[in-house]
Structure 1
Amino acid sequence: MKEKNTGTATALTNKQVGVSIGIIAVVFFVIGFISWVNSILIPFFKIACELTAFESYFVTFAFYISYLLVSVPASYLLKRTGFKRGMAIGFGIMAIGAFLFIPAAAVRTYGVFLTGLFALGVGLSVLQTAANPYITILGPMDRAAQRISILGVCNKGAGILAPLIFAAVILRKTDNELFSRIPFMQPGRREEVLDELIQRVMVPYFVVGVVLLLLGLLILRSPLPEINTEKEDPELSRANADKKNIFAFPYLVLGAVAIFLHVGTQVISIDTIIGYATSMHMPLLEARFFPSYTLFATICGYLLGVIVIPRFISQKQALKTCTLLGTLFSLLILFVKGRSTFLGHTIDASIWFVALLGLANSLIWAGIWPLAINGLGRFTKLGASLMIMGLCGNGILPLVYGHMADLYGTREAYWVLVPCYCYLVFYAFYGHGIKKWS
């Protein structure tokens, strides 16, 4: 049966909207699972491939720099294929990246792992370029943050499961002792142990690759309707008549910068928390739980957003609150000191403010997207690609953190968060309203 081109999101029935949200929720779950497993890959590769802190954060750099390189081509791909086929292609590319982990593990070569991570990021950039504008324009714009929050629960729920499942598969109860002995082993024995260690990722990533292929096929056969963003309504067409390109929308460009800084701070809060815990002499097998605490705080924020937006507060007010909270928690990480016991962990109290950044970050993405792509009309897909390019912040800012951690220490490196949140406060209060450059 030929798929009907609905023309606009308003042409969809409530049933179509509900089914579409369900399908995109699965997509966001997969995006979360693949993305947040990096939090356990970073310390694992650091040990198995004998890396510095700076080198280990190339995991996130390789994964997310693809967003900078691929997002604009992805927008043109979506113009030719539509949202649905574009998402299926994204899953296929991700499967290739997952399968690359098998030869990488066979020869224990970090560069091949990074190539696989880059391919995973390429597929995800296609998925994100399609899924984020799709869910934003799928219903009323004043409820976009609510819809994104629902999907955020799926994304971060997968993020909680990913490091725990992956750690359960690749780590053993005796690994703490093994890790402590590796630096003192004879070279030949050390190579043998490290080879065995790294080969533990082969089976999990083979399974992931197969699942990604199946999901791509399921998306192709799903009832997901197309939304034509190329056709503008007459009023919007008149408003955008003098617009030649996406750079004529200052609030979009400033929003892309905000996305760059937001996702970078989000990844720092999740992917560095294990390293921060182990730097305070906590064993890796205990520290592996901390990314889940950050993601749990994020889910709490999403659920709060689903309840209160827009009934009690607007998505704009939620964005302002979260950016201010992010600034506050960043400063508390730097200045609060003293050991505390909470949830069975005895560690410096500052680490719980790293986890609380999950709450602060929860509604920032959902607040920025509707403000940044509102009124773009025929520029929506290309505007979305500019926003997705901002996701390279996921790869760049953790590298900055890693370099600062090597130079100054893991706590002091969190200074990188402060100017980021200050800009996000600017966008939330003022930048989103700038319609002209002069």
Structure 2
Amino acid sequence: MTPYEEPAPSAPAHGAFITPGYKAGFALVVSLFFLWAIANNFNDILIRQFQKALDLNRAEAGLIQFIFYIGYFTMALPAGMVMRRFGYRAGILTGLGLYAVGALLFYPAAEIRVYAAFLGALFVLAAGAAFLETAANPYIVAFGNPSRAEQRLNLAQAFNGFGGFLAPIIGGIFIFSGIEHSKADIAAMAAAQQTAYRAAEAQMVQGPYLVLAAVVVLIAIAVAMVRLPRIDPPAATGAKRESLFSVLREPELLGAVIAQFFYIGAQVGVWSFFIDFVKEVTPTTPERTAAFLLSFSLALFMAGRFIGAALMHKIAATRLLLIFALAGIALAVIAALTGGWIAVGALTLSSFFMSIMFPTIFSLGLKGLGERAMLGAPLIVMAIIGGAVFPPLMGLISQWEGALQPVMLMPGACFAIVAIYAMRAHKAGIDAAGSAPVPTIH
């Protein structure tokens, strides 16, 4: 334990939102929520940018999300092991280090313009984000009175949503060059001109990721120096010795894992191809405008979290989840089967109705598990592997169909799985109220 890492007071000041002495540390931990949102939502820009810079089709570009979420999936449990052995500060610093290295690797990857090099950089960055996310969500609880932990987590969630809103704007301005050519125009270029164009587009990612790496390094230095509370692991219990996957015999948890897999697949699929979708159904819309529309959609997502939380005071969480899932189905169908700005508007609005799905499914899945919640929670988090499966699949189907728009029926089918889960949970009388605070990944 460093001189700056002290046990959190067993009895924080009555009602204290943040325990005196830990405000700077709290601000730094909250900034981590912003950082992984930037990393997640930059990918939606990269999918479009790499199609130009590296001459990829949609299926190939969809591997960006596949590799990123594989990084999350494989590193979540190792992150937990590091933190149990060395503490939360070590876990956060490891995550920031991996994040910075991954961002720095974008520079040589852009110089050589090898897709595998970009994917390797993304995997390292995602590993860092997995460490940060695994650490930050439970750590928020230690910074003040436990009775106000949910308020602190909601504040952190707001910064996560703000990062998701801001990322497409930053990417649209600093990654998209504003120079757009059709495939026919590019094919008509001389070989040297075509190479120069693609090289310039690839190098557009260097500046933003170098700045991102610098910011992460500065935060890491601050985290190494600031005073932070220490959380001692609880004593081993029979519940903790239980097999990690044996808890899946609980039907509520198993249903939540399945629902979360399909929800994350839908969410990542929609956002990954949002810019391509806008360009397909409204061909004259510039890429930067499409990126700003994605940012607006993510602002609706952020607003939906606050509005949904307020509605849950009057509407059962299971019923509201069902309503939002049905709305998601309807909007996906409209996006797939209509055209023009009606289709764009439907896909944009779908983010609002996705907003409550992850935390609500998470809470419902843990309801009634008691101490075994520490076993169930990682399994629901690991269900984000759906984000690795659906984007490449959607890209591949769009190649077969020759169009992206009909593929938006696939997120609609995913929302249908969520709706079925919500109906069953509602009939079983399960409610998210009173469950533990939940992490926010997207």
Give the residue type in structure 2 aligned to 1:385. Answer: P
1:417 has 2:422 as partner: no
What CA distance in whole angstroms lies between the structure 2 residues aligned with 1:354 and 1:150?
Answer: 27
1:184 to 2:183 alignment: no
- Corresponding position of 2:336: 334
What are the superposed Cα offsets for residues 258-308 of structure 1, whole Å, 9 maximum, x if unpaired? 322222211222221111111121332332222112101102202214544
Selected match of 1:38 from 32, 40, 43? 43
Quote the Cα distance in structure 2 between the aligned partners of 1:23 and 1:320.
36
SS in 1 for 2:205: helix
How big is the shift at 1:377? 6.2
Deviation track 1:115-138 (CA, whole Å, cap 9, x = no partner) reads: 001111111111222233445898
Within-5 A mapping of 1:16-95: 16=18, 19=23, 22-95=27-100
Q: Percent identity?
A: 26
Q: Distance in 2 between matches of 1:246 and 1:21?
A: 33
Deviation sequence 1:311-360 (CA, Å, 0-9, x none):
4445444433322322232233234x24xxxxxxxx34112111111111
Report the Cα distance in structure 1 between the residues aligned to 2:189 and 2:156, rounded to whole angstroms.
47
Paired residues for 1:195-274 under 5 Å: 195-228=199-232, 230-231=234-235, 240=239, 243-249=242-248, 250=250, 251-274=252-275
For the aligned residue pairs, the C-alpha RMSD in angstroms reads 3.3
- Give the letter aligned to residue 56 of structure 2: L
1:404 equivalent to 2:413? Answer: no
Distance in structure 2 (CA, Å) of the matches to 1:327 and 1:8: 47
Q: Which runs of 5+ in 1 are unaligned?
A: 339-346
Q: Distance in 2 between matches of 1:112 and 1:169?
A: 21
Once the two structures are TM-superposed, the CA of residue 190 in structure 1 deviates from its matched residue by 0.9
The one of 294, 311, 326 equivalent to 1:324 is 326
Offset at residue 112 of structure 1 (A): 0.2
* Residue 75 (structure 1) shift: 2.0
* 2:440 aligned residue: none
In the alignment, residue 116 of structure 1 is paired with which amino acid?
A
Match for 1:278: what amino acid?
A: K
Q: Which of 405, 425, 428 is the equivalent residue of 2:422?
A: 428
What letter corresponds to residue 39 of structure 1 in structure 2?
D
Deviation at 1:422, TM superposition (A): 2.1
Q: Deviations over 1:86-108 (max 9, x none)?
A: 12211111111001111101111
Contact 2:270–2:411, Cα closer than 8 Å, also in 1 = no
Aligned with residue 156 of structure 2, among 151, 155, 175: 151
Q: Distance in 1 between matches of 2:348 and 2:410?
A: 16
Q: Which residue of 1 aligns with 2:174?
A: 169
Does residue 289 (structure 1) correspond to residue 292 (structure 2)? The answer is: yes
Match of 2:123 in 1: 118
Q: For 1:69 and 1:116, how far apart are their aligned partners in 2? A: 15
Residues paired across the two proteins, number: 419
Q: Indicate the SS of the match to 2:202.
A: helix
| Contact map agreement 2:37 2:164 (CA 8 A) in 1 | yes
Q: 1:147 to 1:211 in 2, by over 3 A?
A: same
Distance 1:211 1:431 in 2: 43
Q: Within 2, Cα distance between the matches of 1:126 and 1:88?
A: 9
Q: How far is the alpha carbon of 1:11 from its aligned partner?
A: 9.9
CA distance in 2, matches of 1:356, 1:100: 35
Query: Quick one: distance in 2 between partners of 1:263 and 1:143?
Result: 28
Assess, with a 3 A threshold, how the Cα gap between structure 1 residues 159 and 247 changes in structure 2: closer, same or farther: same
Does residue 354 of the first structure (1) align with residue 354 of the second (2)? no
1:342 corresponding residue in structure 2:
none
Structure 1 partner of 2:439: none
Q: Aligned partners of 1:81, 1:378: CA distance in 2, in Å? A: 23
| Structure 2: runs of 5+ lacking an equivalent | 431-442
